[in-house]
């Protein structure tokens, strides 16, 4: 992480000496706990109650960061609440990223609080409604997916912009998907999900260009599906959900260590990386 006093003949020397002595006394007597606290970075994570979001909250908590972990229904987020009980540096907050009133309320609560990393993790993934083939598209779901995955992430990013700008790291990170790549598309399934992630990529790429002159870094990262539940080591393979079994067979399930790899990637992002589309491995993805 990256990191204020003209000479005059007045007041007289004796008074200046006394004032200096008092100043030295207070400076040496005041403990530096406040400045030390300011050195601890803060991350706000949306969708922290499960999967990637929970894993990120766990890892950042262990690293000693202040973690503002948000989810739509904190009362039902048992694992997240247990994490907050274990780590006093974790605070659980309610936030639905498409509820403007909830967004504004949380922004007001943290007014003036620097947020080093704003992680836009909350999203609707394709597993919630199946692959959604052409000819069988649920257009109500399509509209909701676009609203959450694009509009929700962008409005949270704009709402907390002052908090991010006031921090030292100044990073807005959006979790996207390799499924949002037009250049790498091979299988014509999940059109709603893919369209939402492609739209998110464009929105955040444009936002990155808008914020670059302010020194704010916008990261666009495709995490893949991470094995946060350790299905790869399940004693009974039959207990593993079918979609995860299929991903393991295809070699498309990323290990739990992918979370640490993404934390390292986020840490080394510079302004030159702003708006670049990365896979969790650090590979640049074709738009």
- 25 pLDDT band (50/70/90 cuts)? very low
Percent of the chain exceeding pLDDT 90 equals 67
- 16 pLDDT band (50/70/90 cuts)? very low
Domains of the chain (ranges; CATH) run 41-279 (3.40.50.720)
The two three-digit tokens of residue 74, written as one number: 């904190």
37-42-45 Cα angle (round to 5): 155
- pTM for the full predicted model: 0.83
pLDDT at 20 over 60: no
- Given a contact cutoff of 8 angstroms between Cβ atoms, the answer to whether 95 and 71 are in contact is yes
**Eight-state DSSP code of residue 156:** H
Residue 116, judged by CB atoms within 10 A of its CB (0-12, 13-18, 19+), counts as buried
What's the mean pLDDT in 275-282? 96
Predicted local distance difference test score (pLDDT) of residue 36: 53
Predicted local distance difference test score (pLDDT) of residue 128: 61
d(Cα 118, Cα 90) in Å, to the nearest integer?
15
What's the mean pLDDT in 117-135? 83
- 266 pLDDT band (50/70/90 cuts)? very high
Q: 175-234 pLDDT, tens per residue?
A: 999 999 999 998 888 899 999 999 999 999 999 999 999 999 999 999 988 877 778 777
d(Cα 190, Cα 169) in Å, to the nearest integer?
35
Please report which helix (H) or strand (E) contains residue 118, including its range: strand 117-120
The two three-digit tokens of residue 2, written as one number: 């990256």
């Amino acid at each position: 992480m990256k990191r204020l006093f003209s000479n005059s003949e007045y007041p007289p020397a004796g008074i200046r000496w006394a004032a200096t002595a008092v100043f030295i006394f207070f400076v040496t007597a005041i403990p530096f706990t406040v400045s030390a606290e300011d050195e601890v970075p803060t991350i706000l994570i949306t969708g922290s109650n499960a999967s990637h979001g929970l894993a990120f909250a766990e890892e950042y908590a262990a690293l000693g960061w202040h973690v503002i972990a948000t989810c739509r229904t904190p009362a039902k987020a048992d694992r997240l609440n247990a994490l907050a009980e274990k780590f006093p540096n974790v605070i659980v907050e309610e936030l639905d990223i498409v509820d403007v009133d909830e967004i504004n309320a949380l922004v007001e609560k943290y007014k003036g609080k620097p947020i080093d990393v704003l992680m836009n993790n909350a999203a609707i993934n394709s597993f919630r409604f199946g692959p959604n083939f052409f000819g069988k598209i649920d257009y109500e779901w399509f509209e909701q997916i676009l609203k959450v995955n694009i509009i929700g992430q962008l409005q949270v990013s704009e709402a907390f912009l002052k908090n991010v700008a006031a921090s030292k790291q100044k990073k807005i990170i959006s979790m996207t998907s390799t499924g949002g790549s037009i250049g790498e598309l091979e299988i014509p399934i999940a059109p709603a999900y893919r369209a939402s992630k492609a739209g998110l990529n464009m929105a955040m790429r444009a936002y990155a260009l808008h914020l670059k002159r302010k020194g704010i870094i916008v990261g666009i990262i495709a995490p893949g599906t991470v094995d946060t539940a350790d299905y790869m080591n399940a004693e009974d393979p039959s207990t593993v959900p079918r979609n995860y079994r299929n991903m393991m067979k295809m070699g498309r399930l990323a290990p739990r260590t992918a979370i640490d790899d993404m934390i390292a990637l986020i840490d080394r992002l510079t302004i030159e990386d702003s708006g670049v589309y990365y896979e969790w491995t650090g590979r640049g993805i074709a738009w």
